[in-house]
Amino acid sequence: MFKNLQVAVVYIITHLGLIFFVYPTDIIASTQEAHWAPILAGYIIHVIIVFVYLKGLSYYGNLNILQILINKSKVIAWMTLFPVFLYLSLVIVITIRAYAEIISIVILADTPIWILMCVLLGIPVFMIMHGGIKALLRAGILLGILFLPPMLFVMFSAFQNVDMYYALPLIPKDPTKIFSFLTRLSYYKSLFAFAGGFLFLGFIPSALTFKPKTIYISSVVVLLFFLVSVYIPILTLGEETARQLVFPFIFTIDTIEINWLMFDRITIFFLLSLIAFVMLFIAITLWQIASLIRTKVQQIPNPYLLPAIAIVVLLICLCIPEWEDVEKLLQWNSFLRLYVSLVIPTIVFILGYRHHRRVRES
C-alpha cells in the first residue's frame, strides 16, 4: 500500500513541477476558445499511452523496461533506448535552464543564472548518490506533505479575482473549430508536460511493485491541475491579455492580495513548492539517464557517473544564452517526445503480449 502511495505521489508532483510555467502559455496560444479541448485531448492521449505502457510491463511481472529489452538483445536494447537517452538529456537541459531563468525573473534577479543552475543540479545529484530511487520515492511523500498545502492555498486564493464570463463560450459557434488546436505548433509543444512524467514508471525496479490503478486515479488529479493552470489566468485576465504574457499563471497569482497575511508576495511560496517538485523530477530524470548508461557501461560507480553527467548537463546549459533558445529546444525535442510517447509504449506492449502468449501456449 505504501509503495503504491509513493509512486502515485511522485507521479503527481513531478507533473506539477512541469505544468505551471510554459504549459499555460502553449495551450492559450493553441486556441482562442474552448481551452478545455486541447487539455482534455492531451490528457486522453496521455492515459492511453500510460495504459499501453503499463499493460506491456504487466505481462513481464516484476521486470522493468531495461531488463525486458536487455533480455531480448543488448544491441536492440541500446538502439531502442538511445533516443530515450537523448530525450531525457534534452529534458533535463531544458528544465534546468528554464527554471533557472524563471527563478531569476521572479525571485533572484541579481543572482547569476549559472549559480542557480548549479543548485538545481547539485541537490538532485546529492539526493541520488545518497539514496537511489527508493529514497527519491520516500522523499516524494515528504515533499508532498511539506509543499502541497501551501501550493493548494495559493491556487484557491487565486480564485478570488476570477470572472466566469471569460470561460465562455465553452463550445465554439462553429463546432469544427474546436479541433483547430491540432494545426498549431504550440499545442504539440505543450505535450512535453504529459510526456515527461510517465516514463519512470517503467524504470522502477522489481522491488517497488505498484498497482496501475493508482496511476490512473492519480492522473485524474493531474488533469485538475492542468485545467486550473490554464483557466485561472484566463478567468482572471481574459484570454487576450493572458495570451500576451510569457508566464500567465505566475503573473496571475502575483496579483493576489490577502490582507491578513503577513507576507507581501505569496508567489514566493508557490514558486518554492514548484522548485522542490522540479528538483525531484530532475533527480528522477538523472537516475533514468544513469540507468540507461549502465546498460552499456556497467562498471562506472555512482560517485563518478552522476557528477560526470551533471557537469556535462551544466556545460550544455551554459551554452544556451536566451529564453528563445529554450523554446527552440522544446520544438526540436518534439520528435523525440513523439518517439518516447508512442514508440516505446508500443514496443513494450508488443513484446509483452508476445511473451504472454508464448507463456500461455507453453
Domain of residue 304: give its range: 2-361
Q: What is the CATH number of the domain that holds 153?
A: 1.20.1740.10
Instruction: Count CA within 13 A, CB hemisphere, residue 346.
Output: 7
Cell (9 digits) for 267: 508567489
Please count the structural domains in the chain: 1
pLDDT tens per residue across all 362 residues of the chain? 556 788 888 888 888 877 887 888 888 888 887 888 888 988 998 899 989 988 888 888 778 888 888 887 777 788 888 888 888 888 888 888 888 888 887 777 788 888 888 888 988 888 888 777 888 888 888 888 888 888 888 888 888 788 888 777 777 777 777 788 888 888 888 888 887 678 888 888 665 777 888 888 888 998 999 999 888 888 888 888 888 887 888 888 877 777 666 666 677 778 888 888 888 889 988 988 888 887 776 666 667 788 888 889 889 888 888 877 777 777 777 788 888 888 888 888 888 888 778 877 76
pTM for this structure? 0.89
Dihedral sign of CA atoms 231, 234, 237, 243 in order: positive
205 CB-contact burial (10 Å; exposed 0-12 / middle 13-18 / buried 19+): middle
Question: Do the Cβ atoms of 150 and 273 come closer than 8 Å?
Answer: yes
